[in-house]
């Protein structure tokens, strides 16, 4: 049976109230106000907006998204084939739209579940599951954008893995603050910042993480599938340097085709992608945070 630590229980008690307040704020802020002659005109606040002002990171393995990947992994403990899956998204609650189109700030909600399965075992054993929920504040001003995110993560080992391997279980759970700033340069985007863990469990876990990367999105669609949509070439490299590993750099590379609908409304980010990916460094999977891992694979990613 799954058990949760004290901080997770405290968060779960307050979470419904936080969501209700944010949604209520969004509904009130997005309402229309009467003009001088009694007609209604939109305010500069938008409730439940589509899309985000800070584009989700393409190369980060822990960015909330829905995906399914097959990875050939290598580590000191074992070499195996891993099926990594995730279900996650970002939802806008309130957006303040600046006078210049596209500029402003936004408060939202993000969440994701990330799980890894050993495909070379008889029952495809669940290895690890990470549960992440966050409250991002994003902004954009011209070519500059940023994200400040308060989030919680808890991680759990799979039952079959516990029975077969009898590892020393760690109750990994923490809150953290993430701060990132990005700069658009034509089809390129550069970003940098970091995370700081707050009161982590175990208490010996170091708090600092440096984070940087670069992304490329081709300006035009180069592959067409009729009215269904078109695909453009994309690529990214994401670098993380955790204090827990003496600032050793973990790098993640992804490249492939990103497909989006031809008639997608402006500002929406609906797309699906086929991406080749490679990773090397401290494992991005919670319960295995002390281990180093490398992998190559192919993934299907969906953004709604």
pTM: 0.84
- What does the CA dihedral 22, 25, 27, 32 come to, rounded to 10 degrees? -160
- The tokens for 189 are 């985007």
pLDDT 10s digit of each residue in the chain, 304 long? Answer: 344 455 545 555 555 455 445 444 444 444 444 444 444 444 489 999 988 899 999 999 999 999 999 999 999 988 999 999 999 999 999 999 998 888 999 999 999 999 999 999 999 999 999 999 999 999 999 999 999 999 999 999 998 888 888 777 778 999 999 999 999 999 999 999 999 999 899 999 999 999 999 999 998 888 888 777 789 999 999 999 999 999 999 999 999 999 988 766 555 567 899 999 999 999 999 999 999 999 999 999 998 7
Is residue 234 within 8 Å of residue 255, measured between CB atoms?
A: yes
Q: What are phi and psi of 129, to 5 degrees?
A: -135, 130
Superfamily classification of domain 6-30+37-303? Phospholipase A1 (2.40.230.10)
Please tell me the total number of residues recorded for the chain in this structure. Answer: 304
CB count in 10 Å sphere of residue 70: 15
Token pair 């990330």 is found at 114
């Amino acid at each position: 049976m799954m058990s949760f630590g004290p901080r997770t229980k405290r968060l779960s008690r307050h979470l419904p109230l936080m969501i209700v307040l944010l949604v209520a704020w969004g509904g009130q802020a997005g309402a229309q106000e009467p003009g001088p002659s009694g007609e209604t005109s939109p305010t500069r606040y938008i409730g439940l907006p589509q899309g985000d002002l800070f584009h989700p990171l393409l190369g980060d393995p822990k960015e909330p998204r829905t995906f399914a990947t097959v990875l050939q992994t290598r580590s000191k403990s074992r070499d195996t084939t891993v099926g990594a899956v995730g279900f996650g998204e970002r939802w806008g609650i309130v957006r303040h739209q600046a006078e210049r189109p596209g500029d402003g700030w936004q408060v939202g909600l993000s969440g994701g579940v990330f799980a890894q399965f050993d495909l070379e075992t008889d029952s495809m054993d669940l290895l690890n599951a990470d549960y992440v929920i966050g409250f991002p504040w994003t902004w954009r001003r011209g070519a500059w954008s940023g994200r400040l995110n308060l989030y919680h993560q808890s991680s759990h080992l799979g039952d079959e893995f516990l029975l077969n391997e009898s590892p020393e279980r760690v109750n990994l759970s923490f809150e953290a603050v993430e701060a990132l700033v990005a700069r658009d340069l034509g089809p390129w985007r550069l970003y940098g910042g970091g995370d700081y863990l707050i009161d982590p469990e175990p208490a010996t876990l170091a708090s600092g993480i440096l984070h940087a990367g670069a992304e490329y999105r081709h300006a035009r669609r180069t592959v067409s599938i009729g009215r269904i949509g078109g695909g453009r070439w994309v690529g990214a490299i994401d670098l993380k340097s955790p204090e827990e590993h003496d600032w050793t750099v973990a790098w993640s590379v992804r490249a492939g085709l990103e497909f989006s609908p031809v008639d997608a409304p402006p500002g929406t980010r609906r797309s699906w992608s086929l991406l080749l990916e490679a990773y090397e460094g401290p494992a991005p999977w919670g319960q295995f945070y002390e281990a180093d891992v490398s992998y190559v694979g192919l993934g299907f990613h969906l953004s709604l």
